[in-house]
Structure 1
Amino acid sequence: MFAKATAKFLEEVDPTGNLIPVSSCNDSYNMLSIVRKEKARWLFQKPKYVATGFTLNDILRGDNLIHPAVTLTEFANYTQSGSDKYQAGLEANLHPELAQLTVEHKGTSKHNISFGSLKKEDVHLPKLLEDSKGRFLDMDHSLIKQAREKDGTVFGLVTQKIVTTQTSTISQSDEQANTLGGQIRHMVLKMCLKANASFCKGRSSELTIQPHTTIAFKQYVLIVKPKGDFDLGFMHEKSIPSVTFQTDDWYPPGCTWLTEDVAMLSHKFALLSGLKASIRASLLQHLISVMMQCGAVHLLERVLSQMLNGKCPFLDFVEIEPQRQALQVMLDVLSDEDNGLQTEDASSPLGAFHLVTSALAEMPDDGLAVLVSSCTPRVLRSLELLVQCVIENGEMFLNSDDLAPLTGETFQLTELLFSSCGVELQRDGDVLKTKLSESYQPQPLVLCLAIKGLASMAKC
């Protein structure tokens, strides 16, 4: 939840991408902190920046510490709220005097981000360069040794950060309400039967953020030379070939990119569907429980990344107790020695499960809220066939048995789910066609991977 709030904040105040959002309010970023860039594991993800716990002074030779000159200025007063509403209904009149059935589904997704007054802390770069002149890094430091052992490691130096100045909050809630009403009459027997039923379910979370919490930072690449002298890369990171990941125009026109990208990852779903039925059912059940906690999927993805990197998973960074409980149960399932998920390898079932979780974490909130209510085997099977239609740029017949679970209200919710990820479902008589949005973003790929992954665990 915190990670999504900081990302949304930077989308509005920093469209150039100079600032990096902080993913957890428990992460500590001080001036001249060393951060490590981790390459994205999957194509649709952005690279991550992880605090190492060290500062520039920690890895310098000598006892003379660098004391940076820092200026403090007002940055912004940020409060943002929004809501998405969706409604689907089905009314059937079998005969004016015989039967009438009404089904209605309503949903609301709300969020509120209140960071309040924010300030910007800036290191005076000319003074930093002057103080760093003639200084050398300790090449025997554990952090430097680790980087030398692993090719391609990129370090950055924090030189600017955005901090809160007061207690602030982030809240999110999703509510769904269903109503079923019916009336049956029989004129001869003078009988009248009426039935009405309704239920409401939802999920909500609120996070309180303390003053002086860093929500975003700017870093410059730390260029380490063989003898220990160093420079700072003051160019924008996207202009440095060794550390760039991808640009926004990496998709070629047409649908070929989606076909190829899903094909490259399709073997991952075979790893999941090849697990024992009881293990698949347990994974799906507990993943749904995590999905029902606002913001918890993003946290699960982070925990799985720890496991794939060979680290012992921990939940210290989880701020909300219901999220922690759902994640702990999920960890217990993943740690069971009998389920075959302990292999710390991206080509293992655990790596495949991480792919599905990563796709879910990238989905928009309204789409995820609809998807969590669609996780039944029959519906997921139909959704899987529908995303295959998207991948192949094909078409399906609306009256086919394959789409039978998606009729009426469920189909309207399916339209909402797909449109939230940039895929339009178009009806042409009895034929259903799909169309990708004009702006090629990762969302269609994320949708396909999320549904195919969930369906692979729901197979009977």
Structure 2
Amino acid sequence: MFDKVTQRLVRQIDPDGDLIAVSSLIDSGKLQPLAVVMNRRSRRFWQTTKYRPTGFTLNQLLQGEYIQPELDQKELVTYQETHQGNVSGYLEAGGSVLSVSVGGSGGSALFSSLGMLHKETVNVFKLIKDSKQRKVDLHHPLLKQMLDTSKQKWEFTVVTTRVFNTSESKIKYSSIMEGSSGITPQLVGNIKAKVSGKAHSHTNCVMKIPANTVMAYKISGLDIKSDGQYEFILRGHFCGIQSHQAYPLSGVKTELEEVKSLLCVLAGLPHQSRSPLLLQLRQILLDREHLSVLEDRLEELVYDDAPSLYHSSYSHSPHQIIDTFLDLLIQSDTTSETSLSTESTNPGASMRLSKQNQPVLVAMYNLVCAAMDDGLLSLADICSSQVSCLLDSLH
């Protein structure tokens, strides 16, 4: 709910600029002036750049004395918005043996009253001057971790502009979602049996946001040299901010065909593997934090440079559902004898993963990346376990 409001705010006040919407209240507290934010550019043309506030500031990474940034603060806008939307759809398909119908409708309303928003900007030119001949501590845990060769996909940036509220704000959200599904198989002769079901959900939520909560921010890139010296990169393209790049249609078609073939791997899983995965995935779709964690975990398993040892101990994990899901997913990857080596078939087992041959993991990673889109998240509200039954019947 919070991220929906910040995204709409950015689209209203800076549609073609470099403002980044804050995705969670937890991240908001980390976005102080000169806060270090890691960002990663998209792998697919439909994905957006991903930003990860670290909780550290540039000063905490520096050798020697702190840099005192010069800040300019001014009123930006008084913001209040009401947004309402409705959606509905129906699909019916059938043949001589089986007919299937799926329908859904819903509506939502989002009201945000953020009050007076202030904009705080770091004097970047003074910051550059104060940074001359300065070095970062290459032994700092964050630098040692992120400068590792397997983590080069992440780039260092620092916060140079913040947009925040000056008084308590309020967000109200309500939604009603309804869905229905039915199967009519042909039995013996002209006898037919119809199986149907319905799902309904109604949500009302009010969130009070404390004063001085950061809603949006801008960043400048930080190019760290091998000796610890650093330079600021001021233009958005070099900061990792996603530009409006045009993709050739041939390239788009190639990527879509590749993704289509990957997703067919999931459809080809046997029922005993696919059904538990769908049920677990539906639960994860209902929680954006879990979905984000799953995306990160899958990316590590798929794109780290060398083969790694996967070990889950989800009985002690704050994200138990993620560990459970990954165990099911990895054990279902039976498309190649070389894709993994299982040391134990019990939950929490250690498994040796090959980075060259993980079709199921790669397919699920692409699906989860696409599911970060709000439109797909809303599908979880009207889905029921009967949708899985429909998929199984059609397979």
Q: TM-score, normalised by structure 1?
A: 0.61
Letter in 2 for 1:20: I
- The whole-number CA distance in structure 1 between the counterparts of 2:393 and 2:104 is 24
- The whole-number CA distance in structure 2 between the counterparts of 1:360 and 1:247 is 22
Partner of 1:287: 281
- The whole-number CA distance in structure 2 between the counterparts of 1:281 and 1:207 is 36
Tell me the alpha carbon deviations over residues 181-223 of structure 1, each in whole angstroms, 9 at most, x when there is no partner: xxxxxxxxxxxxxxxxx98533454444322222211111112
Partner of 2:269: 275
Structure 1 stretches lacking a partner, 5+ long: 90-103, 180-197, 315-323, 381-456
- The whole-number CA distance in structure 2 between the counterparts of 1:106 and 1:139 is 54
Q: Map 1:52-91 onto structure 2 (within 5 A).
A: 52-62=54-64, 64-86=65-87
Change beyond 3 A, Cα 1:328–1:212: farther
SS in 2 for 1:223: strand
Q: CA RMSD in A?
A: 3.9
Change beyond 3 A, Cα 1:117–1:312: farther
Contact 2:292/2:372 (<8 A) preserved:
no
Q: Determine which of 372, 375, 379 is the counterpart of 1:361.
A: 372
Rg bigger for which structure? 1
Letter in 1 for 2:10: L
Query: How many matched pairs?
Result: 333
Change beyond 3 A, Cα 1:217–1:313: farther
Partner of 1:334: 326
Change beyond 3 A, Cα 1:23–1:218: same
Contact 1:268/1:347 (<8 A) preserved:
no
SS in 1 for 2:372: helix
Structure 2 stretches lacking a partner, 5+ long: 91-102, 181-197, 302-309, 334-350
Partner of 2:39: 37
- The whole-number CA distance in structure 2 between the counterparts of 1:53 and 1:344 is 33
Deviating more after overlay: 347-356 vs 328-337: 328-337
Partner of 1:142: 141
Tell me the alpha carbon deviations over residues 23-59 of structure 1, each in whole angstroms, 9 at most, x when there is no partner: 2110111111111112324331111111223221122
Partner of 1:186: none
- C-alpha displacement of 1:158: 0.9
- C-alpha displacement of 1:122: 1.5
Letter in 2 for 1:231: E
Change beyond 3 A, Cα 1:226–1:204: same
- C-alpha displacement of 1:14: 0.7
Partner of 2:257: 263
- C-alpha displacement of 1:146: 3.6
Contact 1:57/1:66 (<8 A) preserved:
yes
Letter in 1 for 2:247: W
Partner of 1:7: 7
Q: Map 1:44-443 onto structure 2 (within 5 A).
A: 44-62=46-64, 64-86=65-87, 107-150=106-149, 151=152, 153-176=154-177, 200-235=200-235, 237-238=236-237, 240=238, 243=240, 247-252=244-249, 259-291=253-285, 293=286, 296=287, 298-308=288-298, 309=300, 329=321, 331-335=323-327, 339-340=331-332, 347-364=358-375, 368=379, 372=383, 376=387
- The whole-number CA distance in structure 2 between the counterparts of 1:148 and 1:338 is 28
- The whole-number CA distance in structure 1 between the counterparts of 2:71 and 2:42 is 32
- C-alpha displacement of 1:130: 2.8
Change beyond 3 A, Cα 1:10–1:203: same
- The whole-number CA distance in structure 2 between the counterparts of 1:86 and 1:132 is 52
Contact 1:113/1:170 (<8 A) preserved:
yes
- The whole-number CA distance in structure 2 between the counterparts of 1:375 and 1:249 is 40
SS in 2 for 1:364: helix
Letter in 2 for 1:156: T
Deviating more after overlay: 330-339 vs 258-267: 330-339
State the identity as a percent: 25
SS in 2 for 1:218: strand
Change beyond 3 A, Cα 1:262–1:458: farther
Contact 1:84/1:366 (<8 A) preserved:
no
